Amino acid sequence: MKIDILTLFPEAFSVLDTSILKRAKDSGKLEINLANIRDFTLDKHKKCDDTPFGGGAGMLMTPQPIYDAVKSVKKRNSKVIFASPSGTPLTPALAKELAKEKHLIFICGHYEGIDERIIDLFNAQEISIGDYVLTGGELPTMVIIDCLARFIPGVITEESLDEESFSNGLLEYPQYTRPQKFKGLEVPEVLLSGNHAEIKKWRKQKSLEKTQKVRPDLINK
């Protein structure tokens, strides 16, 4: 898959060169390109923001630089995505669908957002990572890319794909590794017993307790 990221802050994405995404890139399964939206402005002062028609607080990203930036990378098979608090929620199912695309173009918003005509002109899909206020679309864009990259075949092993949180609708049970005793705290006895039926039962119970305590909404749905 090829991903183009259009942003006013390309340096924010240096973190993508670590961890799983680095592996995906190194394996050739993922190609990520960055473009600075400011490089496309035709304004003599390189201005990329303006006040909203109709009034209101703050500034909006002006459409021309974004439009030309998208045009510079868009092909017939490209899908344009705008990480936005007004988008449909990111879910594992949506990430899995996105992982099937050949080419994704991400637009990162700043200030109060972007001119709506960008969304209309490119039929952009708006995706939200949650209900809170952020200062830019860069972190949400990285969250979406990290999430979908796991579903690109060969990026991570099948086993870890379904073993993790949410695959059974519950939160994960607590996990432990060596040493058996750390700062006076012991690993639960059952995990050392070798009794796989008992271990499975214990893990299910712990998952339920944890979910009931911090995410009761996941149980009662």
Part in contact with ligand 4G1 (CB under 6 A); list of ranges 5-13, 50-58, 131-139, 206-214: 131-139
Does position 85 interact with ligand 4G1 (CB under 6 A)? The reply is: yes
Give the C-alpha separation, 190 to 188, whole Å.
Answer: 6
**Options 84, 124, 171, 173; binder of ligand 4G1; rule CB under 6 A:** 84
Nearer to ligand 4G1, 89 or 169 (CB): 89
* Cβ-based nearer residue to ligand 4G1, 57 or 133: 133
Distance set, CA 127 to CA 13, 22, 97, 219 (Å): 19, 24, 13, 25
Does 214 contact ligand 4G1 by CB under 6 A?
no
Is the peptide bond preceding residue 85 cis, with omega within 30 degrees of 0? no
The answer to whether the beta carbons of residues 141 and 83 sit under 8 Å apart is yes
Helix (H, G, I), strand (E, B) or coil at 181: strand
CB of 130 to ligand 4G1, least distance (A): 5
Positions in the binding site for ligand 4G1 (CB under 6 A): 83-85, 109-110, 113, 128-137, 140
